[in-house]
Amino acid sequence: MPHDELTPYLRDRWSPRVFDPTHELADDELRLLLQAARWSPSAGNTQRWAFLVGRRGDATFTTIQEQLSKGNAGWVANVSAVVVVCFQTGAAPEDQETPYLDLAEYDAGQTAAHLTVQAASMGLHVHQFAGFDHEGVAAAFGVPDHWRVATGVAIGRVGDPATSEVHEKKRSERKPLEEIAYAGSWGTPFA
């Protein structure tokens, strides 16, 4: 099923493994990407998200790198920045109420989606990854117990597979729309 008619920011989005190891993200660019995440919608505007932000070579990036799975360590080393998305899972000691807590994970995922589209508009690519020691990251950064580390969001410029030691994968496919969009009753394809 072609997706040629999508906005180019979505049409041309994919998750590369080969990133340009010489590319650097300017301060302003990184802030803009975080602004895109920050301006995501959330249930009741509760914004139960927080980000650990590292740029290749800095202390935060290196600490995250130390927690990566084998499968992710190689390619993540070349990205320009990593943002680890965290979300609130319980009440803080000072919280009287915690409305919409059950939607915090959903909302946090959406911040990554917004950042991804903003990145596309800036000629950058994003590759999200869950393959790392989440508890290790939480411990290393002092993430509070009532928060959880969700995913890493790697950002950079696509590199050249011909000169990279990282192996690029084939582009992924999707399930047909009929299998996932229903109307009338569950399982009945949306016409």
Among 45, 96, 163, 172, binds ligand FMN (CB under 6 A): 172
Tell me: does residue 151 bind ligand FMN (CB under 6 A).
yes
Figure out which of the listed residues 10, 91, 92, 130 binds ligand FMN, where binding follows CB under 6 A.
130
Does the protein bind ligand FMN through residue 15 (CB under 6 A)? yes
Query: To 10 degrees, the CA torsion angle through 70, 86, 9, 13?
Result: 20
Least CB distance from residue 154 to ligand FMN, whole Å? 9
Q: Does 129 bind ligand FMN (CB under 6 A)?
A: yes
- Single out the segment in contact with ligand FMN by CB under 6 A; choices: 31-39, 44-52, 128-136, 181-189: 128-136
Strands (E), 124-188: 125-129, 147-156
Output 22 or 172, the one with its CB closest to ligand FMN.
Answer: 172
Q: Residue 145 class from Cβ within 10 Å (0-12 exposed, 13-18 middle, 19+ buried)? A: exposed
How far apart are alpha carbons 88 and 1 in whole angstroms?
37
Stretches 50-58, 81-89, 126-134, 139-147: which one binds ligand FMN (CB under 6 A)?
126-134
Residue 13 or 38 having the CB closest to ligand FMN: 13
Q: Which of 42, 47, 67, 72 binds ligand FMN (CB under 6 A)?
A: 72
CB nearer ligand FMN, residue 10 or residue 92: 10
CA nearest to 78, candidates 28, 139, 16:
16
CB 77, min distance to ligand FMN, A: 13
Return d(Cα 32, Cα 64) in angstroms, integer.
22
Residue 166 CB, nearest distance to ligand FMN (Å)? 11
The DSSP secondary-structure symbol of 26 reads: -
User: What span, in angstroms and rounded, lies between the C-alpha atoms of 152 and 160?
Assistant: 23
Read off φ and ψ for residue 23, nearest 5 degrees: -75, 135
User: CB-side exposure of 110: number of CA atoms within 13 Å?
Assistant: 15
Binding site for ligand FMN (CB under 6 A): 14-15, 72, 128-131, 151, 172
